């Protein structure tokens, strides 16, 4: 029997890619496609919206009604929407895959609380390549230590509303943890004017926004006489959509808890 999938934010760029990624997997069936209340897309066949041809699934706005028809909900929306959606899923006992970035501490706490009763995969990036890059960054940070300065540079399309990206922040936190630093105390977000000499414990972030860049991330370890760069570039949102769909297949079989892509890929010791 196919696993029934619901998608929140089905009308957005990622939502349409998620629809296409679900359609690729015979083990999955799209049974709910949700958009915000009042959206002009309500009632439209989501397959037509996503360029997949008619799928017989109309875009809708009532999440609580839709949850009775899904086994896993995938949510790539906005922080305030995700915070409400995770509460609804916890009440309905429906596992979640969350790709929303820009969550504040209160939103993250709501996800953690929900994970006490349902399995939740929450990742800033659902690319297998990025997940592997995080492990490489941890290894590099431990090996190079405090003798190397660390800078994180990320670029995304002009429509992205949060900065730095969730992936960049995750990279910075992995490096900080590996170096025994607190990212909140050592992060510097952009520089301007007379900044003074660089503190060697600083982890710098630079943000680029423009055009249709799907997602580029480069971490530089800058030493005296050499520089190591670890870069990941995404050329299609389908990379993230397929990772999220893979996570949906995986999370259905897990006990309540909070997971990430390292769990999905079996990379944790």
Annotated catalytic residues are 156, 160
Instruction: Quote the CA–CA distance of 260 and 109 in Å, as a whole number.
Output: 16
Contact 128, 197 (CB under 8 A): no
- Retrieve residue 79's tokens: 């922080």
Strand partners, 34: 8, 60
CB atoms within 10 A of CB 88: 17
23 and 52 Cβ atoms separated by less than 8 Å: yes
Exposure of 115 in the CB half-sphere (CA atoms within 13 A): 17
Q: What whole-number distance in Å separates Cα of residue 183 and Cα of residue 245?
A: 31
**How far, in whole angstroms, is CA 114 from its chain's centroid?**
18
The four Cα atoms 163, 148, 134, 210 give a dihedral, to 10 degrees, of: 30
User: What is the distance in angstroms between the CA of the first residue and the CA of the last residue of the chain?
Assistant: 32
Q: Residues with Cβ < 8 Å from 155, sequence gap 6 or more?
A: 207, 208, 209, 210, 213, 215, 216
- Which class for 253: exposed (0-12), middle (13-18), buried (19 or more C-beta within 10 A)? exposed
> Is residue 219 a contact partner of residue 152, using CB atoms and an 8 Å limit?
yes
What the block records as the tokens of 190 is 């952009």
Strand partners for 30: 5
């Amino acid at each position: 029997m196919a696993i029934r999938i619901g998608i929140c934010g089905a009308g957005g760029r990622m939502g349409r890619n998620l629809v296409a990624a679900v359609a690729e997997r015979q083990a999955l069936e799209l049974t709910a496609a949700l958009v915000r209340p009042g959206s002009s897309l309500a009632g439209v066949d989501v397959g037509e919206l996503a360029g997949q041809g008619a799928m017989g699934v109309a875009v809708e706005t009532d999440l609580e009604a839709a949850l009775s028809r899904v086994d896993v909900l995938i949510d790539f929306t906005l922080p305030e929407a995700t915070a409400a959606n995770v509460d609804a899923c916890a009440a309905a006992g429906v596992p979640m895959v969350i790709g929303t970035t820009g969550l504040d501490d209160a939103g993250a706490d709501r996800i953690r609380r929900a994970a006490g009763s349902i399995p939740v995969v929450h990742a800033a990036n659902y690319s297998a390549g990025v997940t592997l890059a995080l492990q490489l960054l941890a290894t590099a940070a431990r090996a190079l230590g405090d003798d190397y300065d660390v800078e994180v540079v990320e670029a995304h399309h002009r429509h992205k509303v949060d900065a730095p990206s969730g992936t960049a922040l995750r990279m910075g936190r992995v490096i900080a943890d590996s170096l025994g630093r607190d990212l909140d105390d050592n992060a510097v977000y952009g520089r301007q004017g007379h900044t003074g000499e660089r503190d060697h414990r600083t982890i710098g972030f630079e943000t680029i926004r423009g055009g249709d860049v799907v997602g580029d991330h480069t971490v530089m370890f800058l030493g005296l006489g050499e520089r190591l760069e670890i870069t990941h570039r995404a050329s299609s949102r389908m990379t993230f959509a397929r990772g999220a769909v893979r996570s949906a297949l995986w999370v259905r079989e897990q006990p309540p808890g909070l997971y990430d892509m390292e769990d999905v890929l079996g990379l944790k010791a």
